[in-house]
């Protein structure tokens, strides 16, 4: 009977190998959880920095738009502080095909990061009005209206298959325009 009691006592507990295997499995699982939490924290920090860099870039574009004179064509750079961080920005201003309009491209990075590692890039435009206030329609060369390059389809200014420049081709006028009488 003694042998049976010893076998039963041995069957109730875990061996050292079983305990070590269980600990290894738990440790690997915890390492996965810790890595997921760390990655989530890194993503949060990255998104915060990217948002702040975008705000810095938008502030630079807005400052240039509010200036009394257009920004000079070329490159400009400086540093600014926002949310307890130093930000390095670079503004590249180029002349567009429209004489009264300039394009502004702003790239922003943390001051301590290497050049060329921008967190945000924003483009904006500075220009003067090309038409009167109130939303009057402007005719641009080759776009809209009648005549060469217009929507009349003929290119000869005589109405063609689509008189009046109505893109749908019907006799209904564009909003705000009187009906078009067909040529006789």
**CA distance linking residue 118 with residue 52, whole number of Å:** 12
Highest mean pLDDT among 22-26, 112-116, 162-166: 22-26
The gap from C-alpha 52 to its chain's centroid, in whole angstroms, comes to: 13
Domains of the chain: 45-127 (3.30.1300.30)
Q: What predicted TM-score, i.e. pTM, was given to this entire model?
A: 0.58
pLDDT digits (tens, 9 = 90+) for 110-158: 999 988 889 999 999 998 866 667 766 666 665 555 544 444 444 444 4
Contact 120, 135 (CB under 8 A): no
């Amino acid at each position: 009977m003694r042998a049976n009691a010893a076998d039963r006592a041995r069957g109730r507990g875990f061996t050292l190998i079983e305990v070590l295997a269980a600990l290894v499995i738990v440790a690997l699982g915890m390492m996965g959880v810790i890595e997921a939490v760390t990655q989530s924290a890194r993503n949060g920090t990255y998104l915060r920095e990217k948002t702040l860099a975008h705000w810095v870039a938008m502030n630079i574009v807005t400052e240039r738009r509010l200036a009394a004179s257009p920004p000079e064509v070329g490159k400009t750079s400086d540093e600014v502080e926002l949310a307890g961080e130093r930000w390095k920005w670079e503004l590249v201003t180029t002349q567009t095909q429209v004489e009264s309009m300039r394009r502004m491209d702003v790239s922003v990075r943390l001051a301590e990061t290497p050049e060329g590692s921008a967190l945000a890039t924003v483009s904006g435009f500075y220009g003067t009005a090309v038409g009167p206030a109130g939303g009057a329609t402007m005719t641009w060369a080759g776009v809209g209206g009648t005549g060469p390059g217009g929507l009349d389809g003929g290119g000869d200014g005589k109405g063609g298959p689509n008189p009046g420049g109505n893109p749908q081709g019907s006799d209904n006028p564009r909003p705000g325009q009187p009906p078009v009488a067909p040529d006789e």
